[in-house]
Amino acid sequence: MSRSQKRPVEGLQIDGFTLGPLLHRGGFATIWEVTHPNHPGPMVMKVPTILDGDDGPTIVGFEIEQMILPRLSGPHVPQLIAAGDFAVMPYLVTAKLPGASFQELFDRAPLPPDQLVALAIEIASALHEVHRQRVIHLDLKPGNLMRDEAGRLVLIDYGLARHLDLPDLLGEEFAIPMGTFPYIAPEQYLHHRDDPRSDIFAFGAMLYELATGRLPFGQTTTLRAVRRRLWRDPLPPRALNPELPPWLQEIILRALEVEPEERFQSAAQMAFDLGHPDQVQLTARATKLSRDGIWPVLRRRWRARRIRGYLPAPTAEDTARAQVVMAAVDLSPEMEALSQEILSATREILHFRPEARLACVNVLRSARIQLDQGTDEAGNNLHVARLVALKAWGEALGLPEGRVTYTVLEAPDPGNALTEHATRILAGHIVMGARASSALRRYLGSVSAQVVAEAPCTVTIVRLPAPGG
């Protein structure tokens, strides 16, 4: 029997934790002070803000953070204490960090060069430790920097991050760039989420801000403005702050290069240069006082036109991991028997493909015109309820966490949603069920027939055995 979903309020008790006062309300989550009899010390609980509308990115981002945080260790990441799933109320409990984020410090910029460099070395060292654990943050910004009680810098908020050993749920489900627009790298606009040098770019944008008091590309709010980053360089920081030493401008502008291969190739390399200014190799970047001229900009713009919309080429590691098997499951009560047949067929396919990853998918049909009802009669979020049911279906296969993903798509056209998702995740095989035939379905066409006709890969259709067969 399923438990009712809960929403966070002061005094709520869940899994032994008691919610105290609300500490922060952000766009995607709320932060609460919590206590637990078995966990001494100050703690906070992060709960995603799930409303009754389109909460897909919030839900997926929180799932990513739940997957990544337990795999991170060290002083520069939040100390995870407990996590709750979506069946009742999703949450993450971590040790409470004193004080606020670094946003206030950045608001006081520009900083003196010596103070800037000392902080930059700390950030670079923390970023190196995260990258060493095969995680790309992809949302570096002042608001995601804090200090622990010992004064050590901590990188927080991994809802947009990418772990290179886990499936990229955000990249597979959403086609728009994810991140905080003033800081994201040009390649993120092109939907590339697998390059640690994207964090180097965001780090460079923060250093620019600390050095000048301004963002390198302004307070960007539109994708069109982000796209200009594919060819347009920022005004050199020494044009705004002449007191900045040339070697520090060299480091900042190198981190902000349009082409990832022209940036620092690691945070460790950047930390070394920040700590050894006499060894920084100066180029024309160090002394420039204006943006690049028209010809370099036109060359980059022409290249941007040619690569716009292209997917990154698969690496040898991606190829070695081989195929993605996508199981499309109808979770309607009347389709219970068929969903079990799909489970059996999926198990058989995976038996002969032990290297394959499984993507479990369900489509929550949405209205084409009128507003959708985002909750059921009991007030439970429909998207979350479907996700919980889909996970219950897939857990019967006994696959390890890194080998299976769960996705609920919201779309008015299930067949089109399934084929588009299969294309996006590079699925090599789709397993799905077909409802019983009827005159109306023969006339209008079925979802399974549409997927067979349009899918970019092999499709296995599962039917219930004929009565008496």
Q: What are the φ and ψ backbone dihedral angles of 358, each rounded to 5 degrees?
A: -105, 130
Same domain, yes or no: 53 and 147: no
184 belongs to a structural domain: yes
Pair 201, 217: CB distance under 8 Å: no
- For residue 356, what pLDDT is reported? 82
| Tens digits of residue pLDDT in 210-245 | 999 999 999 988 888 888 888 889 999 999 999 999
- 421, 408 in Cβ contact below 8 A? no
pTM of this prediction? 0.80
Are residue 263 and residue 356 in the same domain, yes or no?
Answer: no
Count the neighbouring beta carbons within 10 Å of the beta carbon of residue 350.
21
Residue 456 carries which side chain, given as an amino acid letter?
P
- Residue span of the structural domain in which 83 resides: 12-95
Can you read off the two tokens belonging to residue 262?
């022209």
pLDDT of residue 365: 86
Q: Which of 257, 119, 266 is nearest to 195 (CA)?
A: 266
Judge whether 102 and 146 are in contact, CB under 8 Å.
Answer: yes
- How many domains does the chain divide into? 3
Which residues are paired to 47 by β-bridges? 30
**Are 210 and 149 in a shared domain?**
yes
Q: What pLDDT score was predicted for residue 299? A: 84
DSSP E strands in 319-442: the ranges are 324-328, 357-365, 404-411, 427-433
**CA distances from residue 361 to 326, 365, 431 in whole angstroms, order as listed:** 7, 13, 10
Residue 370 and residue 429 in one domain: yes
* Calculated CA dihedral for residues 343, 346, 348, 352, nearest 10 degrees: -160
pLDDT band at 92 (very low <50, low <70, confident <90, very high): very high
The CA distance from 200 to 252, in Å, is 10
- Please give the structure tokens belonging to residue 423: 């294309």
pLDDT of residue 368: 60
Residue where a domain terminates, one of 284, 306, 328: 306
pLDDT at 398 over 70: yes
Please write the tens of the pLDDT for every residue from 104-148. 999 999 999 999 999 999 999 999 999 999 999 999 999 999 999
Query: pLDDT-derived band of residue 297, with 50, 70 and 90 as boundaries?
Result: confident
Q: Tell me, what's the pLDDT at 313?
A: 38
Residues 6+ apart with CB under 8 A from 247: 277, 280, 282, 286
- Tokens 């980053």 — which residue? 229
- Both 244 and 188 in one domain: the answer is yes
SS3 126: helix
Q: Do 294 and 332 sit in the same domain of this protein?
A: no
214 and 328 together in one domain: no
pLDDT tens profile 29-53:
999 999 999 999 999 999 998 865 5
Would you state the pLDDT for residue 164?
92
Residue where a domain terminates, one of 253, 287, 306? 306
pLDDT at 54: 54
- Nearest CA to 220 among 228, 232, 210? 228
Is residue 3 in a domain?
Answer: no
pLDDT at 285: 95
End of a domain among 80, 95, 110? 95
Q: Kindly write down the DSSP assignment for every residue of 179-215, as one continuous string.
A: S-TTT--HHHHTT----THHHHHHHHHHHHHHHHSS-
300 shares a domain with 231: yes
Question: Are both 201 and 274 inside the same structural domain?
Answer: yes
Token code pair at residue 33: 């002070």
Lowest mean pLDDT among 7-11, 69-73, 272-276: 272-276
2 occurs within a structural domain: no
Dihedrals φ, ψ of 387, to 5°? -65, -45
Mean pLDDT of 168-177: 84
Measured distance CA(101)–CA(99) in Å, rounded: 7
In sequence order, what E strands does 96-180 have? Answer: 135-136, 145-147, 153-155, 162-163
Query: How many C-beta atoms lie closer than 10 Å to residue 23's C-beta?
Result: 13
| Residue 360 placed within a domain | yes
What does the alpha-carbon distance between residue 436 and residue 458 come to, in Å, rounded to a whole number?
A: 22
